[in-house]
């Protein structure tokens, strides 16, 4: 059997896509395409169909995409209209939010908003075609076990799709979306918790932030945060929650220049010759990013033992790379049982 190391990605809407290949479409056409991709040729019962319909991607214009858009906003261009928005409320993925702002569950905020995660897609380990995953929960399950339970086209039968490797890919690289390679084997969040990925705008110092929203609505943004601000404060809720269930790893954008490179610190000679040099060209002017071929990209180097009994991906359990132990040491916490 042919075997590859599949990648799992989060596909996002974006203002200046470099990777995706779909031709420019109307939103209606895009919606139909994504819906049919998810539903496939499945013959489903009424109840099944209802569930599928609740899980389709909602493709819509950003509410601030036209009139409300700041003229100088990086999101103000035609491609922004192609953004694929994931409808959190229809998929039971609304954020656990602070009660203060009743509107914060909307899919996006409306001024200078960063891109949203548009869809989840996983590569079949056999044919390497990309398959859309209907919702975040299913995606997280697949991601958790991706190395010991490789994703196959047939896996989509779990949500009543009858497709095989002979069927065309759900999605290809096109010019309308930003792609990012996700980290494998990230544990599903503990029951009642949500793992939130917040993307940053292009040109920032990093690509995204991960937050964990606790059952009480507290948002934690690091392991020390989880330990100090939640588990220590809610020992009754900490029962059975291992810190290995938390991972703050973020996906890697395929668009090379999405994240601003950190300037290298070089001691500049204070000579007249140096002072007369023209300014260094910004990185963003150095040329368009290459279109990376997802289908034939090199496998990532994370393959190996998956998750040990601590819930920590084994590839992290190397000296100096164990954020759990580091965080626990920093927080002087040793009494949490890991699952």
Torsion of CA 104, 110, 111, 112, to 10 degrees: 90
Q: How far is CA 127 from the centre of its chain?
A: 23
113 binds DNA (CB under 7 A): yes
204 binds DNA (CB under 7 A): yes
56 binds DNA (CB under 7 A): no
| Rounded distance between C-alpha atoms, residue 113 and residue 105, angstroms | 14
CB 252 within 8 A of CB 258: no
CB of 247 to DNA, least distance (A): 7
CB of 160 to DNA, least distance (A): 34
128-167 footprint of DNA as x/- string (CB under 7 A): ----------------------------------------
Nearest to 19 by CA among 240, 178, 185, 187: 178
- Residue number with CB closer to DNA (64 or 177): 64
- Residue number with CB closer to DNA (50 or 261): 261
User: Three-state DSSP class for 81?
Assistant: helix
- Residue number with CB closer to DNA (130 or 258): 258
CB of 320 to DNA, least distance (A): 2
| Rounded distance between C-alpha atoms, residue 134 and residue 35, angstroms | 10
| Rounded distance between C-alpha atoms, residue 154 and residue 3, angstroms | 15
| Rounded distance between C-alpha atoms, residue 75 and residue 108, angstroms | 13
73 binds DNA (CB under 7 A): no
Binding residue (CB under 7 A) for DNA from 84, 142, 223, 294 = 223
Q: What part of residues 260-299 is at the interface with DNA (CB under 7 A)?
A: 260-262, 264
Binding residue (CB under 7 A) for DNA from 4, 16, 81, 200 = 200
Stretch that binds DNA, among 123-131, 255-263, 275-283, 303-311 (CB under 7 A): 255-263
Stretch that binds DNA, among 34-42, 129-137, 162-170, 218-226 (CB under 7 A): 218-226
CB of 259 to DNA, least distance (A): 8
12 binds DNA (CB under 7 A): no
At which residue do the structure tokens 């071929």 appear? 293
Contacts of 52-56 with C-beta under 8 Å, sequence gap 24+, read: 52/134, 52/159, 52/160, 54/90, 54/91, 55/91, 55/134, 55/135, 55/159, 56/134
Residue 50 burial (10 A CB sphere; 0-12, 13-18, 19+): exposed
- Residue number with CB closer to DNA (16 or 330): 330
Residue 254 burial (10 A CB sphere; 0-12, 13-18, 19+): buried
Binding residue (CB under 7 A) for DNA from 205, 236, 266, 271 = 205
Structure tokens at 268: 């500049």
321 binds DNA (CB under 7 A): yes
194 binds DNA (CB under 7 A): no
Q: Which residues would be at the binding site for DNA (CB under 7 A)? A: 97-98, 100-101, 104, 109, 111-114, 198, 200-201, 203-206, 209, 211, 219, 221-225, 248-250, 252, 260-262, 264, 319-321, 323, 326-327, 330
């Amino acid at each position: 059997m042919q075997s590859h190391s599949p990648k799992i990605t989060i596909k996002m809407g974006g203002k200046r896509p470099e990777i995706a290949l779909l031709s420019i479409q109307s939103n209606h056409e895009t919606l139909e395409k994504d819906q049919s991709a998810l539903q496939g040729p499945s013959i489903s019962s009424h109840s099944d169909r209802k569930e599928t319909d609740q899980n389709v991607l909602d493709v819509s214009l950003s509410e601030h995409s036209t009139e409300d858009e700041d003229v100088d906003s990086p999101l103000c261009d035609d491609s922004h209209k192609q953004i694929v928005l994931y409808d959190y409320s229809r998929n039971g993925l609304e954020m656990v939010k602070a009660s203060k702002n009743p509107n914060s569950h909307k899919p996006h905020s409306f001024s200078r908003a960063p891109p949203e995660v548009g869809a989840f897609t996983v590569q079949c380990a056999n044919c390497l075609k990309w398959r859309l995953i209907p919702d975040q929960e299913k995606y997280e399950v697949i991601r958790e076990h991706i190395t010991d339970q490789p994703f196959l086209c047939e896996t989509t039968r779990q949500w009543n799709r009858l497709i095989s490797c002979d069927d065309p890919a759900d999605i290809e690289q096109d010019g309308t979306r930003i792609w990012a390679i996700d980290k494998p084997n990230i544990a599903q969040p503990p029951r009642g918790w949500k793992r939130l990925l917040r993307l940053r705008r292009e040109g920032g110092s990093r690509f995204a932030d991960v937050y964990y929203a606790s059952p009480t609505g507290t948002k934690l943004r690091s392991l020390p945060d989880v330990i100090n601000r939640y588990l220590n404060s809610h020992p009754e809720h900490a029962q059975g929650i291992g810190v290995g269930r938390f991972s703050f790893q973020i996906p890697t954008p395929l668009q090379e220049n999405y994240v601003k490179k950190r300037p290298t610190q070089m001691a500049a000679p204070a000579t007249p010759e140096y002072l007369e040099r023209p300014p260094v060209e910004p990185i963003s002017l150095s040329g368009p990013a290459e279109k990376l071929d997802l289908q034939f990209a090199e496998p990532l180097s994370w393959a190996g033992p998956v998750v040990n009994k601590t819930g920590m991906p084994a590839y992290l359990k190397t000296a100096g790379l164990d954020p759990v132990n580091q965080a626990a040491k920093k927080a002087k916490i040793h009494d949490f049982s890991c699952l």
